[in-house]
Chain A
Amino acid sequence: MHFLRRLLYMMLVIVGVSMLMFVLVRVIPGDPIAKALGQGADAASIKKMRDQMGLDQPIYIQYFRYIEGITRGQLGMSLVEYRDTAEIIKDKFPATLELILASMTLAVILAIPLGVVSALKRNSLTDHFNTLISLIGVSFPQFWSGLMVQLFFGYILAFLPITGRISGPPPMAITQFFLIDSLLTLNFPAFWDALVHLAAPAFVLSLAPLANITRLIRANMIDEMSKDYINVSKATGMPQAVISFKYMLRNAFSPAMTMIGFMIPLQMGTAFVVEQVFAWPGIARFGAEAITTNDFNGAVGVTLVISVAVVVTNFIVDELYGVLDPRIKLRR
């Protein structure tokens, strides 16, 4: 029941998004069709094309046609790449997903020890240091930190590639995740290749979530410390390691789960800049181009996909939260 309600509500939001974006891009000035037909296209053929794409009908008709198109798995022709936006997204989404997942994993892995340690060493120098770090982490303009990473690791130390996802031939496509595919096909050169390409953008992208998660975990850990159950487990002689990294962390981490959910939209947004800087062939880069070049189908398509991703992740995260923290399950 609860599940169904959530699902319904998800649909609602997504429809809302599609409407919002649809209206937004359709009011963009300038005639995209003239561009699509190429310069010097005569008025007649432009008119024809407009009719063909139904741009002269009232906006709500256009909207319904668009939705109907979606049901057929079409998102309309992109004026940037001259093919159906759905195809483009199919091609480019894995790249973005790989990037974001990598960054989030990196963030979580680093955040847990940082958070726990700075909570245990509360008000110590380490702690202040960590707080500062976490504040710094969220203060970087990622397009700039991206450039600086390129400058330092790409040019000065010259051991990371500057841009792109891979320089050699890509591995045989199975999951579309280069790291995984290359491993499955024992294609280790490609794996290394993909890895070094992934490293810099993933790192840049992970800074903000790393900071936020560390911060949250620290705060929660400190709350947990004052809980009676800590006293009891201490009194029963349980070792500090188990207490802080198992008992407290489990309590402290489940709220962080939701935080991670909230981070996803931010990450998707940040990817727009990061993929630009690192010429990462993902949907974010395409989306940025589509939006800034009046490619209305591309723009709506990408935004739609992204917001679906966002909503779904939040949904999953909530469910997971329930698993990690029985209190939630019981409350339902």
Chain B
Amino acid sequence: MNDENEKIQVRKEGITRGLIKLSRNRLSLIGASFLLAAILLALLAPWIAPYPEDAGGAVHFERQLKPPSFSYLLGTDESGRDILSRLLYGARISLALAVVVLTIAFFVGVPLGICAGYYGGKVDQVIMRIADVFSSIPAIVLALAVSVALSPNLINSMIAIGFVWWRSFCRLAYGETLSIKQENFILSSKSLGASDLHIMFREILPNMSSTLLVKLTLDAGFAILVGTSISFLGAGASPPTAEWGLMVAYGRHYLPYAWWPSLFPGLAIFATVLSFNLLGDGLRDFFGVEVE
């Protein structure tokens, strides 16, 4: 029997095991690396953008709608601005949007969700009903309304989306809390007389961290989608801001004769969102959590 003297295989443990899993998932690696690149480019934009001034108010109508060429790698837009430079600066805005939105959503939604799940009863009813109201209006619609109510501009649109987004975190935290609540260690520490706050945020919260992480990664992408959509509908960033959604909105007027002003910004959005999703997907498998 030859296979008994095969080389000894070692059972992988914990992190290494996870990492192997993750590394098996090439897609999520691609996603992660693209995001890293995007962040770097966004940070370095002022230094690497070929025409930094084009991201601001500068206009060069003498070279408007030039197709991609060596001097303008991605061509120029309707006001003769270098699209590549604007994309680079746009990355800052989109990433910032994701961060702002998710921060608001997280710090509003999660505590509410945990409270609702932990206390149950009236608190549960009130909070979750409100969440229901919010979630029965499509995110884009509500965000649009809020950002118009706050008078349309970039910051307001971010706030608006955050204001809409809390509900999904609330739901998630609520569900998780309900299940974790039943675990013995919670019951025991309750019996030991730990304060509710302690239990909620020192014991329950850490136990849903992985789920939340996955949720954050996945939602970052969708937040960007909503944000750009709102700018596209004209209730978000206003010109000459180099915002991707806005760039598409302006570029569309020159289709089909000039395809580059609308193609590339869209690709940028798509790639960013996709890589957030890929990464989130990988993390989901990694932690083996389910996030709808």
Contact = CB atoms under 8 A, between A and B. Distances in A.
Q: Do chains A and B touch in the complex (CB under 8 A)?
A: yes
Contact of B232 (A29, A273, A291): A273
Interface stretch (B67-75, B145-153, B200-208): B145-153
Given A27-B149, A299-B145, A139 B277 contact: yes
A151 B136 contact: no
B140 A25 contact: no
B138 A16 contact: no
A171 B183 CA distance: 62
A266 B135 CA distance: 10
A329 to B, nearest CB: 23
Contact of B145 (A148, A303, A311): A303
The 6 A-B residue pairs with the shortest CB-CB distance, nearest first, are: A269-B138, A144-B266, A16-B133, A155-B256, A269-B140, A139-B274
B132 interface: yes
A269 B139 contact: yes
Contact of B136 (A140, A266, A277, A307): A307
Interface string A7-19: 0000011101100
Nearest to B267: A144
Nearest to A314: B136
B138 A306 contact: yes
A54 to B, nearest CB: 20
Interface residues on A, range: 35 or more
Nearest to B265: A144
B21 interface: no
Interface string B233-250: 111000000000100110
Interface residues on B, range: 35 or more
A187 interface: no
A73 interface: no
Contacts of A222: none
A272 B265 CA distance: 20
Nearest to B251: A147
Contacts of B281: 131, 135
Interface of B: 27, 129-130, 132-142, 144-146, 148-149, 151-152, 221-222, 225, 228-229, 232-235, 245, 248-249, 252, 255-256, 259, 262-263, 265-266, 269-270, 273-274, 277-278, 281, 292
A12 B233 CA distance: 31
B256 A156 contact: yes
A161 to B, nearest CB: 14
Interface in A232-275: 259, 262, 265-266, 268-270, 272-273
A89 interface: no
A269 B226 CA distance: 10
Interface of A: 12-14, 16-17, 20-21, 24-25, 27-29, 128, 131-132, 135-136, 138-145, 147-148, 150-151, 155-156, 259, 262, 265-266, 268-270, 272-273, 276-277, 287-288, 291-292, 294, 299, 303, 306-307, 310-311
14 contacts: A13-B133, A13-B136, A16-B132, A139-B273, A139-B274, A140-B270, A143-B229, A144-B262, A269-B140, A276-B233, A288-B144, A291-B148, A292-B234, A310-B136
Contact of B277 (A13, A138, A269, A307): A138
Given A16-B130, A20-B133, A307-B136, 19 more contacts: A13-B133, A16-B132, A20-B137, A21-B145, A24-B149, A29-B151, A141-B270, A144-B266, A144-B269, A148-B263, A151-B259, A156-B256, A259-B292, A269-B139, A270-B138, A272-B138, A291-B145, A292-B144, A303-B145
A17 B233 contact: no
Contacts of B142: 303
